[in-house]
Amino acid sequence: MHDNHQPKLDLVVIGNGMAGLRVIEDLLEIAPERYNIIVFGAEPHASYNRIMLSPVLAGDKAFADIQIHDRRWYEANGITLYTGEAVATIDRRRRMVISAEGREVGYDRLVLATGSRPFIIPVPGHDRPGVISFRDITDVDDMVKASENGGKAVVIGGGLLGLEAAYGLHKRGMDVTIVHLMDQLMERQLDPAAAALLQHSLAQRGLSFRMGAETAAITGDDAGHVNGLRFKDADDSTLDADLVVMAVGIRPNIDLAKASGLHCDKGIVVNDTMQTYDPRIYAVGECVEHRKAVYGLVAPLWDQAKVCANHLAWRGHSQYDGSVTATQLKVTGIDMYSAGDFADDEAADTLTYADIRRGVYKRIVLREGRIAGVVLYGDTRDGPWYFKHMQAGTDVSAFRDLLLFGKAFVETGADETADEHDAEAA
């Protein structure tokens, strides 16, 4: 191929996380010869699957299980990898990145994949020892260490991350209370009914809750180490804690981009080919803002990485249109699925199914006969099927009365050929 005769360009990737790595993988697949790839990762490890930190914390998986690639893989693919070395500056004029260590590397193309940072509520005491966030493997190590003596943990934030942290710490033997500002858990992904079921089953597993509670301060002992929370309420109530995990949200990590003069809003603003305002510089992942949207889940990153890699490889005109996302909670034995917009307003038709004794709840929101959002609890088998129809914008009117019951009731006979297959094989 004539590609081979072209001189290789230098591609620098900042951030060796989920998104940055995926761009590299995709690129290796479609245009392995085009670039010299240099990767900077602030974290000390080669690469790991971040979302699997939760099972690691819970002790269901070991760190080794969640590694994606070791250093040999980078070597084998001719990739230069600098770990534990953050990029401090981008000199766009000279097309150079300069690491915290002072290393200078030039680039023809640059990919920003700096992810996001946990948001820390700036209450008094937020910086005490014993206050941890939940973002990377060091956080997990810290939590595992803190849990070794048992004791009390408080997780601030009843969202996906907070609950997974709480569950993990509980499994590690800590007495865990979840402190949540709202009256219901995961209010962005769940409706009150599903949230109540979720809270009920977590409570049954032994987790405690302080709902509708706003933290006033994180208190400490004489040594300054965390020893509890004080709430903003009428009687200044308190809660003891040996460990406080802050899981109240994330903020795109845009400091570097901003400093280098790239246009940022909530995140680094990119176009449909994942380019920033500087066309040599791409950005992907949680650090990105695309068409006003910022994402906090992996599925959109895959789409973004693919578009980015295609563009870097000069492969056609694929473009990123934004993503609809679906959320699942990784707590063993709890099945929960949420996707889309399930706000209940005039224009929305809400379908619900509830079998509380069996712990099953489903809510599907339709707009103009199409699925706009879905919340499933207890039986999430059909989540992806709803999601597909949601993405495809299928008019579900024809099977609306069976929609709540899922694919097996709507698509009768759909899998027949497969079964015939089986029968023949047998």
Partner 1 sequence: MTTTTQTTCPYCGVGCGVTATLDGDNAVSIAGDGQHPSNKGSLCSKGTALADTVDLGGRLLHPRVDGVRADWDTALARVASGFADTIAEHGPDAVAFYVSGQLLTEDYYIANKLMKGYIGSANIDTNSRLCMSSAVAGHKRAFGEDVVPGCYDDLEAADLVVLVGSNTAWCHPVVYQRLMAAREADPNKKLVVIDPRRTATADTADLHLPLAPGTDVALFNGLLAYLANNGFTTDLPGGAEAIAAAGPGRDIQGGDIATVAEAVGVDDADLQTFFEWFAATERTVTVFSQGVNQSSAGTDKVNAIINCHLLTERIGKPGACPFSITGQPNAMGGREVGGLSSTLAAHMGFDQADTVQRFWDSPAIAREPGLKALELFEAIEAGQVKAVWIMATNPLVSLPDADRAKAALEQCPLVVVSDVMRHTDTADLADVLLPAAAWAEKTGTVTNSERMISRQRAFLPMPGQARADWAIMCDVAQRMGFADGFVYEGPAAIFREHAALTAFENDGDRVLNLAGLADLSEADYDYLAPTRWPVTTCQPLRAAGAMPARQGVDQLFADGTYPTADGQAHLVAVTPRGPANAVSADYPLALNTGRIRDHWHTMTRTAKSPRLAAHIPEPFVEIHPADAELYGITDGALATITTAWGQAALRVITTERQRQGCLFAPMHWNDQFASSARIGTAANPAVCPISGEPEFKHTPAAIAPLAATWYGFIYAVRPLWVRAMAGIDWWIKVPGERFVRYEIAGCETPTDLKTTARHWLGVAARDVDWLEAADPAAGTYRAAHVDAGHLEAAVFIAPTPERLPERSWLAGCFTGQAMTEAERAAVLAGRPADASADTGPQVCSCFGVGRKTILRAIKSDGLDSVEAVGRALEAGTNCGSCKPEIAELLSQADKA
Ligand X SMILES: Cc1cc2nc3c(=O)[nH]c(=O)nc-3n(C[C@H](O)[C@H](O)[C@H](O)COP(=O)(O)OP(=O)(O)OC[C@H]3O[C@@H](n4cnc5c(N)ncnc54)[C@H](O)[C@@H]3O)c2cc1C
Residue ranges in contact with ligand X by CB under 6 A = 14-20, 40-43, 50-51, 53-54, 86-87, 113-115, 134-135, 161, 164, 253, 256, 285-287, 296-299, 301, 330
Shortest spacing between CB 219 and ligand X, in angstroms: 26
Which CB atom, from 219 or from 380, has the smaller least distance to ligand X? 380
134 binds, among partner 1, ligand X, none (CB under 5 to 8 A by kind): ligand X
Encoded tokens for 118: 């946990």
Which CB atom, from 302 or from 385, has the smaller least distance to ligand X? 302
- Cβ contacts of 272 within 8 Å, gap of 6 or more: 290, 307, 319, 320, 321
Q: How far apart are CA 11 and CA 34, in angstroms?
A: 9
Q: Binding string, 30-49, against partner 1, x = CB under 8 A?
A: -------------------x
Q: Output the CA angle 230-135-307, nearest 5 degrees.
A: 140
- Residues present in the chain in total: 426
Encoded tokens for 401: 């009365």
Question: Rounded to the nearest 10 degrees, what angle do helices 160-171 and 137-147 cross at?
Answer: 40
Q: How far apart are CA 152 and CA 166, in angstroms?
A: 11
380 binds, among ligand X, partner 1, none (CB under 5 to 8 A by kind): partner 1
Shortest spacing between CB 162 and ligand X, in angstroms: 10
Shortest spacing between CB 53 and ligand X, in angstroms: 4
Q: How far apart are CA 272 and CA 275, in angstroms?
A: 7
Residues 46-75 that bind partner 1 (CB under 8 A): 49, 51-52, 55, 65
Q: How far apart are CA 179 and CA 211, in angstroms?
A: 6
- Cβ contacts of 316 within 8 Å, gap of 6 or more: 310
Q: Binding string, 342-381, against partner 1, x = CB under 8 A?
A: -------xxxxxxxxxx-------x------------xxx
352 binds, among partner 1, ligand X, none (CB under 5 to 8 A by kind): partner 1
The radius of gyration of the chain from alpha carbons, rounded to an integer in Å, stands at: 24
161 binds, among ligand X, partner 1, none (CB under 5 to 8 A by kind): ligand X
Residue carrying the six token digits 């973004």: 304
- Cβ contacts of 385 within 8 Å, gap of 6 or more: 406, 407
Nearest residue to ligand X by CB is 17
Chosen residue from 6, 237, 319, 412 binding partner 1 by CB under 8 A: 412
Which CB atom, from 42 or from 403, has the smaller least distance to ligand X? 42
Which CB atom, from 314 or from 409, has the smaller least distance to partner 1? 409
Encoded tokens for 399: 């099977």
Which CB atom, from 72 or from 357, has the smaller least distance to partner 1? 357
Helix (H) or strand (E) holding 233: none
Give the binding range for partner 1 (CB under 8 A) out of 81-89, 190-198, 309-317, 394-402: 394-402
Q: Interface with partner 1 includes 400 (CB under 8 A)?
A: yes
Which CB atom, from 19 or from 396, has the smaller least distance to ligand X? 19
Residue 333: other Cβ atoms inside 10 A: 8
40 binds, among ligand X, partner 1, none (CB under 5 to 8 A by kind): ligand X
Q: Interface with partner 1 includes 27 (CB under 8 A)?
A: no
- Which of these, 330, 355, 350, lies nearest to 197 by C-alpha position? 355
Which CB atom, from 266 or from 381, has the smaller least distance to partner 1? 381
256 binds, among ligand X, partner 1, none (CB under 5 to 8 A by kind): ligand X
Helix (H) or strand (E) holding 30: helix 18-30
> What is the DSSP secondary-structure string of 45-73?
SS-B-GGGHHHHHTTSS-HHHHB---HHH
- Is 186 in contact with 160 (CB distance < 8 Å)? yes
Footprint of partner 1 (CB under 8 A)? 49, 51-52, 55, 65, 298-299, 302, 326, 328, 330, 335, 337, 349-358, 366, 379-385, 400-402, 404-405, 407-409, 411-416, 418-419, 421-422, 425
